């Protein structure tokens, strides 16, 4: 499946998804995963620093996740309904040129 989005911080990456609907789920986050959340706040910072990329449902170029992602040099993309679309453990590829997220497994 391919999902269109809006690139908030550039970079191409492939990795495993961790969906976080409740901040308690951050305790299960593994370094190098792709963080999927509705709209990460500063509470998410320690996990943003360990992320390979970030997929958000809400926010724009000035949202917290986008700003931190650009500073860290990792991709950030907004995909409507991301926390419902993506599942823990899915492997995805973020393609900034096409502004898509593709499920590869």
Show me where the domains of the chain are located. Answer: 2-103
Burial 8-30 (b: 16+ CB within 10 A, else e): bbebeeebebbbbeeeeebeebe
- How many angstroms separate the CA atoms of 79 and 3, rounded? 7
Are the C-beta atoms of 14 and 104 separated by less than 8 Å?
yes
Across-strand partners of 34? 17, 53
Torsion of CA 83, 40, 59, 101, to 10 degrees: -40
Residue 58 annotated in active site:
no
Six token digits for residue 102: 């593709």
Active-site option among 64, 70, 83, 96: 64
Per-run averaged pLDDT (10 residues), the chain, 105 residues: 92 96 90 96 92 96 95 96 97 94 91
Report pTM: 0.94
Residues in the chain: 105
- CATH number for the domain running over 2-103: 3.50.30.10
């Amino acid at each position: 499946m391919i999902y269109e989005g809006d690139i908030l911080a550039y970079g191409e990456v492939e990795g495993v998804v961790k969906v976080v609907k409740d901040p308690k789920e951050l305790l299960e986050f593994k370094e190098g995963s792709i963080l999927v959340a509705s709209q990460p706040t500063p509470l998410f910072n320690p996990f943003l620093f360990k992320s390979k990329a970030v997929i958000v449902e809400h926010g724009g170029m000035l949202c917290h996740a986008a700003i931190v992602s650009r500073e860290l040099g990792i991709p950030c993309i907004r995909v409507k309904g991301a926390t419902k679309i993506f599942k823990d453990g899915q492997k995805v590829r973020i393609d900034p040129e096409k502004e898509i997220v593709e499920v590869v497994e």
